[in-house]
Structure 1
Amino acid sequence: MTEVLNEQRPSMLSAIWAARYRTPARFVALVALLLPWTTTGVTFALIPWLIAFAFVDLREFPRSLLRPVCLLPIALVGLALVGTLWSDVSWPERLHAIGPVLKLLVIPLLIYQFERWPFGNWVFAAFLASCALLMLYSFAVAIDPDWSLKLYLSRGPYKVESGVAVRNYIDQSQEFGLCAIALVYPIVTLFREGRTRIATLLAALLLGFLVNMIFVVVSRTALVTLPILVAVFALLHLRWRKALLAASGMILVAVALWSVSPHLRATVAKFQGDYEMSAQDKKVSGMGSRLEYWRKSMGFIADAPLIGHGTGSIRGLFASVAADPHDNPLRGEIVSNPHNQTLSVAVQWGVLGVLVLYALWFAHLLMFRGEGLACWIGLLVVVQNMLSSLLNSHLFDFAPGWIYVLGVGVAGGLALAK
């Protein structure tokens, strides 16, 4: 009996040692699973992950932080902290504005973890499964809006035709679009390897995401970013002849979808409609309001171009130049988000902040120059965030920001491990 126990002891210790590194990965997968559905759940899931992370081997962690891919997120957070010193708003507003930036500190932790313990596919699978379930639920809500969780989680009337089960259509479109394009790489790889069953299943899932975006709900941001992401795949993974054929096929598919989807035509037409509503009638609209935010933000940047107006200053600046909302609703809007990531950073931290932001994006892009699924997912996440940040402040928003943190952190660790 003693000899048996002595033989089993090394295997038991090995299992415990392996679990020491699998446990943090499981918690990160839980975060990815909850991300499309709940903000509170994500916050609570991060706590046990941080506790589990503290028990891994951290001897090389200080050296890992010195790399640009880890140091630049920390630098942007540090700039937000220091920027509170020259802001003119109240301290609660300054501290509140730091919150959206703090999530970037998770990137160096994830890179360190998944560079050494490659369980990142758990995270990718969890996010894909969660988005697939949300996609099916979205179809159900489009048919019967009484099933929507928004009836219980948000205020105000709910639109039957939206098909948005939780949060908003912009976040949902970002998630579905990312999953759809990310699936292209494994589908092509599996077909080349002759694994047609799995490839067909993933292709059906990709089709489900696209059908939902075409016939149920899609954001204009997704309409802008999706063709560019497809072009990125064609340029990186197809020869020029196949790329031209793929581009021609995509154009034909787009024309066909345009003719059969009134929802898609209405979404595209809203660009012009919003502009005319704001330009002629001075009314609040999606695109028209953005143009007004950008115009005012450029003026704020001109007043403090080097280091900006300080952390949390955006809302106060808009309030200082707001017109009477009864006379001009468009120019009377007071917002804390100019709906452009570069402008959001520049207003608060000037040219210095913009240099750090662009260096961060560039360093993370370079991290995914290799081949493989992790590099493809990481590249998509960075490119999508950069493109969507032209129309939104997606690095600081909750769902798109955490998609960036998880995508860059997990995929970056796997890519560096190679």
Structure 2
Amino acid sequence: MLSVMASARHDPFARMLNVDLMAVLVAALLPWSTSGVGIGMLVWLAALAATLELRPFLNSLRRPINVLPIALVALAAIGTLWSDTSWGSRLYAVSPATKLLFLPFLLYHFERSTRGLWVFIAFLASCTLMTVASWIVAIEPSLSMKGLGDPATYGIFTKNYIDQSQEFVLCTVVLALPIIISLRDGKIRQALLLMAVAVNFIVNMAFVVVSRTALVTLPVMLVVFAMAHLRWKANVLLSVAAIALGALAWTASPHLQATTERFTRDYRLYKELNEPTSIGLRLEFWEKSLRFFAEAPIIGHGTGSTRGLFEAAATGPAGSAQGQVIGNPHNQTLNVAVQWGMVGVVILYTMWFAHFSLFRGEGLAAWIGLMVVLQNIFSSLFNSHLFDFHEGWMYVLGVGVAGGMVLRAGARRTDSSGMAAR
């Protein structure tokens, strides 16, 4: 790798390879590190600059898949002008959206590159290694980088259980397609290997740690897979098998039972005792956010205004659900609506739709991109995952790399059709 980097100054092939290898490194770091991803993407962008052809890149910016994320970041920047919070808070609130500016560069590069699949293999391998670390720290908690004494760190080597569950769910569902293709092609060993990797993710979530968001999004993603790639008889068998295996896992796993039972327990504690449980706080945040949105429905209250609004609306004791103050309402739509009103919501949903539409075709790249977008949309019902660091970068890398691969495949088909017509 060092020799390739050294020769990149004079070799266009080596320069392209450097950009690809940096993307592979960032994908491998994503489950483990935040600072590594941030630094890695800046280095990736610097490496890309040596290969960028200005006119084709500027032409690519006209596509809606590029215009819309840029528009959302621009709205966040412009929204600082009518916010009434401090300028420090305004600028800080812009930063979660800026990662979307990497999307046009990723789409442009991987439309030219033939190594996009390397990035996803690196992410899968890294997540698989993370399951090993999760099993180890579940057995020996002192080896966790998160410290001891907090039940929320059980089975977590680094990051948190929400981020880890998002990774494992995405890998599990994405693997379903290559497993089916391998079985249809008679590649039994390959199919068994991929099934073993997928089962490893599922078992870890069932018996070590899983987020409630993952419990909601996983079935939705599996239903989409069944509708897109299986016949109705297979869907019936899969549904029966999924219900049976789910019931067996719930019966055998005290952890899974406790996770599902917390849904009703948290709601009851919130309604009866006003305790700030996870579900209770979300309901409180959503109710107040809807009121904030109704006060400024067109352009919102401005970038970074959310915390100040919650401070003004806080009632009751500091430890109660009504007294909680937060800068993130734990819902992507409301996060955007409070700050930038309907203008922001329209841009957000149009962007999601444009990216979803990009992946309606056939092939592994389209399937990966589709699942990345679908997961982000559904998990953003309970969190602001487009703006959160980890899930936001999963979206940017997934859509950028898979989208570039889909665009490249489409260009090849167009060229082939043109040659055939001649």
Q: Give the structure-2-normalised TM-score.
A: 0.93
Q: Work out the CA distance in 1 between the residues paired with 2:49 and 2:156.
A: 38
Q: Which runs of 5+ in 1 are unaligned?
A: 1-11
Q: Work out the CA distance in 2 between the residues paired with 1:321 and 1:189.
A: 54
Structure 2 match to 1:299: 291
* 3-state SS of 1:149 partner: coil
Q: Work out the CA distance in 1 between the residues paired with 2:384 and 2:210.
A: 18
For residues 271-310 of structure 1, the aligned pairs below 5 Å read: 271-310=263-302
More deviation in 81-90 or 39-48? 39-48
For residues 116-135 of structure 1, the aligned pairs below 5 Å read: 116-135=112-131
Match of 2:395 among 375, 399, 404: 404
Post-superposition Cα deviations, 1:374-403, rounded to whole Å, max 9, x if no partner, equal 000000000000000000000000111000
Aligned length: 402
> Does residue 41 of structure 1 match 2:32?
no
Match of 2:327 among 329, 336, 339: 336
Structure 2 match to 1:232: 224
> Does residue 261 of structure 1 match 2:256?
no
* 3-state SS of 2:11 partner: helix
Offset, 1:159: 2.5
Kindly provide the amino acid, as one letter, of the partner of residue 159 in structure 2.
Answer: R
Match of 2:15 among 11, 14, 20: 20
Structure 2 match to 1:388: 379
In the alignment, is the contact (CA less than 8 A) between 1:142 and 1:160 conserved in 2?
no
Offset, 1:158: 2.8
Quote the RMSD (CA, aligned, Å).
Answer: 1.6
Structure 2 match to 1:70: 66
In the alignment, is the contact (CA less than 8 A) between 2:332 and 2:381 conserved in 1?
yes
More deviation in 260-269 or 301-310? 260-269
Q: Which runs of 5+ in 2 are unaligned?
A: 1-6, 410-422
Q: Work out the CA distance in 2 between the residues paired with 1:27 and 1:367.
A: 25
In the alignment, is the contact (CA less than 8 A) between 2:179 and 2:195 conserved in 1?
yes
Q: Work out the CA distance in 2 between the residues paired with 1:358 and 1:36.
A: 27
In the alignment, is the contact (CA less than 8 A) between 1:94 and 1:312 conserved in 2?
yes
Q: Work out the CA distance in 1 between the residues paired with 2:181 and 2:285.
A: 44
Q: Give the structure-1-normalised TM-score.
A: 0.94
Q: Work out the CA distance in 2 between the residues paired with 1:334 and 1:245.
A: 47
Q: Work out the CA distance in 1 between the residues paired with 2:388 and 2:187.
A: 38
Offset, 1:323: 1.6
Kindly provide the amino acid, as one letter, of the partner of residue 273 in structure 2.
Answer: D
Q: Work out the CA distance in 1 between the residues paired with 2:298 and 2:132.
A: 48
Q: Work out the CA distance in 1 between the residues paired with 2:383 and 2:8.
A: 49
Post-superposition Cα deviations, 1:331-389, rounded to whole Å, max 9, x if no partner, equal 11000010000000000000000000000000000000111110000000000000000
In the alignment, is the contact (CA less than 8 A) between 1:289 and 1:330 conserved in 2?
yes
Offset, 1:16: 2.2
Offset, 1:139: 0.4
In the alignment, is the contact (CA less than 8 A) between 1:148 and 1:164 conserved in 2?
yes
Q: Work out the CA distance in 2 between the residues paired with 1:145 and 1:330.
A: 31
Q: Work out the CA distance in 1 between the residues paired with 2:9 and 2:347.
A: 43
Q: Work out the CA distance in 2 between the residues paired with 1:355 and 1:160.
A: 36
In the alignment, is the contact (CA less than 8 A) between 2:365 and 2:405 conserved in 1?
yes
More deviation in 298-307 or 198-207? 198-207
Match of 2:168 among 176, 182, 199: 176
Offset, 1:13: 10
* Off by >4 Å, runs of 4+ in structure 1: 12-15
Structure 1 match to 2:98: 102
Offset, 1:157: 3.5
Offset, 1:21: 1.1
> Does residue 321 of structure 1 match 2:342?
no
Would the alpha carbon gap of residues 146 and 181 (structure 1) be closer, same or farther in structure 2, given more than 3 Å must change? same
Identity over aligned pairs, percent? 52
In the alignment, is the contact (CA less than 8 A) between 1:142 and 1:161 conserved in 2?
no
Q: Work out the CA distance in 2 between the residues paired with 1:250 and 1:351.
A: 39
Offset, 1:100: 0.4
Q: Work out the CA distance in 1 between the residues paired with 2:131 and 2:317.
A: 39
Match of 2:48 among 49, 53, 60: 53
* 3-state SS of 2:156 partner: coil
In the alignment, is the contact (CA less than 8 A) between 2:9 and 2:15 conserved in 1?
no
